[in-house]
Structure 1
């Protein structure tokens, strides 16, 4: 029995992140990600929890000083004279704030989100995100690609998601907190989350992928395609297959491909 994953998880706890894991289902999208070394970043509307990163919980501050700051900042950055004249005649701090509130949802939806975990010995994740142990778990060393994994952070689990006040000028980054809170119902995921400024494909360094772990119920055709993708597109990635159901703290597997 190999114990690299148990060792890596222990090391990750002792040293902080660098080892992170991502579960994927047995489909063509997963194979495409492997072949072309990218991660698909979803928008928040594609997430499986309606409370997750929900812009309905964000309200712009109505404090007079924040309203004035927003108004002055917008006014100072209007360069076109005709637009500036229209703004001065028709816009007040209050109706500017009302207009800005309508832009929160598209702003939140513009971010790309990718989910990882710090713990591969997770029965539920294998069942849910790897299509009942038929898919894969990708094992990354985030320290090998600090640009791609910049600001990967753990999700904070709370009893309830509460409305938050957002001050876009004085605290522009405070809205990011919205993406890193989920209810305690999801705490079993032990999620690490990575944000990008857009949804879609984002490439990672091939050297940051360490291992591919295939579920014990994977179909032979999918296994063959995974091994072939790894052989053709990576130099040092190993492929293993889980040999039985996962239990907490225990993961047994066998090697399928070990590069020379």
Structure 2
């Protein structure tokens, strides 16, 4: 099982934000209370974010308790949710909030654009996301776990515990500080090194 958070629990205050390009539908003014209710409901949807990369030091700092956590690698195939573009969508990066006409809020493609557009400041994350109707709860894994990358500060006993649980079913790697750059290099780790 894996946790899907709601948009309001994520660290970007602009998650699921947009602006209306007009404040009426067919000449009738927008009911502000109904609009706020719709926005609140949208922000209760569940989000499971992924990244194409596993070696960004900012993400290790922000999302893994300052390099003490780990990164999970998933298998992406045509037969699982990660390989289905209707379920797992790339995040779009832009300088502006999506502009939406009120009547478009019923269009699935327009709503998907709202839910997957973030500021260009977040481009370094190279994010993809799966969205579900209700957040702040667990769902089945979207694909098989194929690898674990340990943060360079992760304690040895926790690495060993993860290896004990997963055994030889996945590959193990760890982040190592580069000797020449402000970067981490991802290096393989053998199961025998973790369990000895």
TM-score using structure 1 length:
0.62
Instruction: Say yes or no: does 1:239 pair with 2:175.
Output: no
Quote how far apart the aligned CAs of 1:130 are. 1.5
In 2: Cα distance, 1:169 partner to 1:190 partner:
26
Give the deviation of 1:123 after TM superposition.
1.9
SS at match of 1:251: strand
Alignment of 1:1-260 (within 5 A): 38-54=1-17, 57=19, 62-64=24-26, 97-98=31-32, 100-143=34-77, 146-147=80-81, 150=84, 151-167=87-103, 171-199=107-135, 200-204=137-141, 208-231=144-167, 236-245=169-178, 250-256=185-191
More helix by share: 1
How far did 1:186 drift?
Answer: 0.9
TM-score, structure 2 as length reference: 0.79
SS of match in other structure, 1:42: strand
SS at match of 2:162: helix
Q: Write the distance in 1 (CA, Å) between the matches of 2:156 and 2:100.
A: 49
SS, match of residue 101 in structure 1: helix
> CA offsets, 1:17-65, max 9 Å, x none?
xxxxxxxxxxxxxxxxxxxxx22111111010111213x635786231x
Root-mean-square deviation (Å): 3.0
Q: How many residues align?
A: 188
Which consecutive residues of structure 2, in runs of 5 or more, have no partner in the other structure? none
Shift, 1:139, TM fit: 0.6
Answer with 1 or 2: which has the greater Rg. 1
